[in-house]
Amino acid sequence: MWATVCDAFLVEAKWFASGHIPKSEEYLKNGIVSSGVQVLLLHMFFLLGDGATKESANLIDNNHDIVSSVSKILRLSDDLESEQDENQDGRDGSYVKCFIMEHENCSTKTAREYLKRMISDAWKCLNKECLSPNPFSENFLKGSINLARLVPSMYNYNENKSFDLLEEHIRSIL
C-alpha cells in the first residue's frame, strides 16, 4: 500500500513538472490514492486486530467501497477548499481545475457545485456500505465514518488560514 501511495505521488509530480492537466476522472483516481486515506485505514484495520487471518487481511486489499468513499470525501473536500486558496499558485492539483479544463463553458461555481454533489454521493455510498451487511468489524466501520467526519473540520479554516474549529475541538478534548 505504501508503494502504491508513493507511485501516486510520483504521478502527481510528473503532472506538475510537465504542466499536464489530467482529465478529472484520471486526477480523481490517482488523488484517491495520494490522499493517504487508504494507508491510514489499512493501519487502523490491523491495529484493531481485524487482519488476524489471511482471509480477513485480504479484505482491505480489495479497495472496498468503504475505503474509497472515505478517500473521495477527503480528496474532494481538500480540492474544494484549496481551490479557493490563492497561495496555491497552481502548485496543488485540483479536481475543480481539471473539470473546468474538460468542460469549456463550465464556470468555477458550477464545477464547485458538482464537486459538492460528488462529496454528498460519497457520503451516501459510505453510509450505505456501513449500514449494509459487510465483512468489516463494527470498530473499523466506526473508525472509517469518524475519519470521514473529521474531514470538514480539517478543511474548514477561516480567512487567516487558521483551523479555529479543529483547534476548538482539540482544546475541548484536552
Q: Which of 67, 48, 155, 173 is nearest to 164 (CA)?
A: 155
Rounded to an integer, what distance in angstroms lies between the CA atom of residue 32 and that of residue 77?
11
| pLDDT score of 10 more than 90 | yes
What single-letter DSSP state applies at residue 87?
G
Give me the chain's average pLDDT, please. Answer: 85
CB-based burial, 117-148: b 16+ in 10 Å, e otherwise: ebbeebbebbeebbeeeeebeeebbebbbebb
In tens, the pLDDT along 144-168 reads 999 999 887 776 655 555 566 667 7
Query: In sequence order, which residues have a C-beta less than 8 Å from that of residue 144 and are 6 or more positions away?
Result: 41, 44, 66, 67, 70, 126, 130, 136
pLDDT number for residue 164: 67
Range scoring the smallest mean pLDDT among 30-39, 59-68, 94-103: 59-68
What is the average pLDDT across 7-21?
94
Please tell me the number of Cα atoms within 13 Å of 9 on its side-chain side: 8
**Residue linked to cell 464547485:** 112
| pLDDT score of 117 more than 90 | yes
Higher pLDDT, 173 or 44: 44
CB-based burial, 40-68: b 16+ in 10 Å, e otherwise: bbbebbeebebbeeeebeebbeeebbbbb
- At 22, is the pLDDT very low, low, confident or very high (cuts 50, 70, 90)? very high
pLDDT number for residue 70: 95
pLDDT number for residue 83: 63
pLDDT number for residue 53: 78
pLDDT number for residue 125: 96
Rounded to an integer, what distance in angstroms lies between the CA atom of residue 137 and that of residue 160?
40
Rounded to an integer, what distance in angstroms lies between the CA atom of residue 41 and that of residue 71?
10
In tens, the pLDDT along 125-147 reads 999 999 999 888 999 999 999 99
Higher pLDDT, 62 or 75: 75
Domains and CATH numbers, the chain: 2-173 (1.10.600.10)
SS3 151: helix
| pLDDT score of 88 more than 80 | no
SS3 133: coil
